Structure 1
Amino acid sequence: MALRVTQTMMSSQMLSNINYNMNNMSKLQDQISTGKVINKPSDDPVGITFALRYRGEISSNDQYTDNADAALSSLDYMDTTIGQATDIVQRFRELIIKGANGTLEETSRTAIQTEVSQLYNQMVEIGNSQFNGKQMFNGEQTGAKPYSTIGLDQAVDPTAIPPQTKAFNNQTDTGNIKYELSPGMTMEVNITGNEVFGEPVTDAADETSDNLFQLMHRAYDMLGSGDQAGLSNLLGQIDTRMNTMLTARAQIGARVNRVEIVQSRLSDVDTNLQKMQRNVEDVDMAEAITNMTTLENVYQASLSAGAKIIQPSLVDFLR
């Protein structure tokens, strides 16, 4: 038995096909205008899960990159600061050698003593260095200065509240500032003041300590009293402290190198993630435009064919 095809069936089928073509054109228009294959979850339920995962990984990688940049800035600043401190130590050593000269006149010793005092004050300024408003040598206590600013030529009042101290008495915070540079991997970006300038001492006359501030204090007193032998004996302790500071600077340099390696790796990861995200989300513009042109032609052809298929009905002839 043959199936009878009515005018209504033909019209409905034609309209259905036209709507189908229009929906496909609308989808392609969205893709071309946004540049994205996925504009809503229903476009590609599987692809959207990959796209969201890549976006999350890119965001995390960006944060690690920011952390690495901040870590590198802090390390570079600390390297510069310790470099300035070693320059002062070198000048301090040269002055001690001059001061230990037995033929030096009292006027010259006084001039050297004055310069040592200024070097001490400058070293305290370096110990209280700030980067981005944070103290660099006071561990996790970044809001407080680690070293007293009382100079060598200033009297200390032990009855003051809080008690007055000089820089060689100060204990810096031992905490470490750490940045997370990748999942599970952190790096310390600071060195405490006591590690660089020496552990604190309570006795200004302590002859065993290589605390830099205390060495300067002792040198200042020896220059005032003309103790050439004592000045000569300081040289070994000064060299020991210098070597410790150079070692600290070398540690900073090694960390800088590691952070730069991490930055390079994070950059490569970002490039790969961006590529994978584009492969999932971005539209192939040439293909989309070609398909759009084809669909437009099909749409026009379907309209033309539909006009011929829907012939005048009997009612039209009865009017």
Structure 2
Amino acid sequence: MSIRVTQGMMHSQMLRNVNNNLTRMESNQNILSTGKKINKPSDDPVGITYALRYRSELSINEQYQKNVDAAVSQVEHTDKVIGQVGDLVQRANELVTKGLNGTNPQTALNAIAEELGQIYEQAVTLGNDQLNGKYIFNGQKTDIKPYTAAGAPGETTDNEKIISQFAAGVTIPLNVTGSEVFGQATDSDNLFSVLKGLQTAFSAGDQTTATSLYNQLSSRISKVLEVRSEVGARANRLDLIDNRIKDLDLNLNSLDATTEDADIADTITKLKSDESVYQASLSVSAKIIQPSLMDYLR
């Protein structure tokens, strides 16, 4: 049985086809203008779940990168300050060695004592060093000045570590405490106590006490070197972590681009094809709409 096709049916089908062509062309225009082939979840329900996951991981990775940058700055600064402490201790060692040779007059010993006093003052200054307004040698109490010029030999810093995270389950302590570098108040080789003691001993010409303190100074030199080696090892590990984070960032961006980014050349080709189809549908539609009742009555 044949089905009668009316003018209204032709018009309705024509409008649907024109709208479909227009929708397809608008979709490719949107892809071309945004550069993304996924602009709403319905474009690719599976792809959007991967895209959101990649975005989340990239955001987390970005925070880890910020943690690494801040950590590298702190560790490098700490290394420089400890290096300066090491230079001070080495200079003190040279002065004490010179003062203990037994041939120096008291005036020379007084000069050595004077310089040891200056070294003590500089050691206190380094012990109170700050980075971004925070004291680097006072553990987690970064807002409290750890040492005073008068009381440094009897003062002990906070020994808590500042921990930073660089990946899931990967944490590294960033700070070094003053007790590790300069010694605790109860340590026989506390740098401040030793320097003060040596200054007093040379001022009094007390070679026996100076010799005893010289051994303690040597002990402190070894500990300062050990701490600096530890800081250097942290810096090396941070470099490795930094490289890993950057590699992961490149990988995630590549995966995200594969999932979301449009193929511009392919999209332009499709858009041109859609425009041609749309123009053709409009041309055909114009011929269908053109006949009227008067045309049939003629």
Do both proteins adopt the same fold according to a TM-score greater than 0.5, normalized to the shorter chain?
A: yes
- Higher helix residue share: 2
TM-score (norm: length of structure 1): 0.90
Structure-2 separation of matches of 1:197 and 1:301: 86
Q: In the TM superposition, what are the counterparts of 1:28-47 in structure 2 within 5 Å?
A: 28-47=28-47
Note the C-alpha offset of 1:317: 5.0
Q: Please say if 1:62 is aligned against 2:41.
A: no
Q: Of 197, 204, 216, which aligns to 2:195?
A: 216
Q: Indicate the larger mover: 299-308 or 118-127.
A: 299-308
- Paired residue for 1:204? none
Note the C-alpha offset of 1:24: 0.8
Note the C-alpha offset of 1:102: 2.0
Note the C-alpha offset of 1:316: 4.2
Structure-1 separation of matches of 2:237 and 2:99: 43
Q: What number of residue pairs does the alignment pair up?
A: 298
Note the C-alpha offset of 1:276: 1.0
Structure-1 separation of matches of 2:109 and 2:22: 97
TM-score (norm: length of structure 2): 0.96
Note the C-alpha offset of 1:13: 0.9
Q: In the TM superposition, what are the counterparts of 1:163-242 in structure 2 within 5 Å?
A: 166-201=151-186, 209-242=188-221
Q: Indicate the larger mover: 190-199 or 82-91.
A: 190-199
Structure-2 separation of matches of 1:96 and 1:67: 43
Give the partner amino acid of 1:172: T
- Paired residue for 2:231? 252
Tell me the alpha carbon deviations over residues 61-113 of structure 1, each in whole angstroms, 9 at most, x when there is no partner. 00001001111111111111110001000000111112113221222111111
- Paired residue for 1:80? 80
- Paired residue for 2:142? 142
Structure-2 separation of matches of 1:100 and 1:228: 7
Structure-1 separation of matches of 2:133 and 2:289: 81
**Among the aligned pairs, what percent are the same residue?**
48
Partner of 1:20, secondary structure, is helix
- Paired residue for 2:255? 276
Q: Indicate the larger mover: 172-181 or 303-312.
A: 303-312
Q: Indicate the larger mover: 36-45 or 66-75.
A: 36-45
Note the C-alpha offset of 1:183: 1.1
Structure-1 separation of matches of 2:178 and 2:290: 96
Structure-1 separation of matches of 2:4 and 2:281: 23
- Paired residue for 2:272? 293
Q: Indicate the larger mover: 299-308 or 134-143.
A: 299-308
- Paired residue for 1:118? 118
Structure-1 separation of matches of 2:260 and 2:31: 10
For the aligned residue pairs, the C-alpha RMSD in angstroms reads 1.4
Give the partner amino acid of 2:177: T
Tell me the alpha carbon deviations over residues 199-241 of structure 1, each in whole angstroms, 9 at most, x when there is no partner. 113xxxxxx7011111111101101110123222322221111
- Paired residue for 2:7? 7
Note the C-alpha offset of 1:9: 1.2
Any unmatched runs of 5+ in structure 1?
151-165, 202-207
Give the partner amino acid of 1:314: L
Note the C-alpha offset of 1:40: 2.0
Note the C-alpha offset of 1:313: 3.3
Partner of 1:120, secondary structure, is helix
Structure-2 separation of matches of 1:228 and 1:212: 19
Q: Indicate the larger mover: 30-39 or 98-107.
A: 98-107
Partner of 1:242, secondary structure, is helix
Q: In the TM superposition, what are the counterparts of 1:149-164 in structure 2 within 5 Å?
A: 149-150=149-150
Structure-1 separation of matches of 2:102 and 2:283: 115
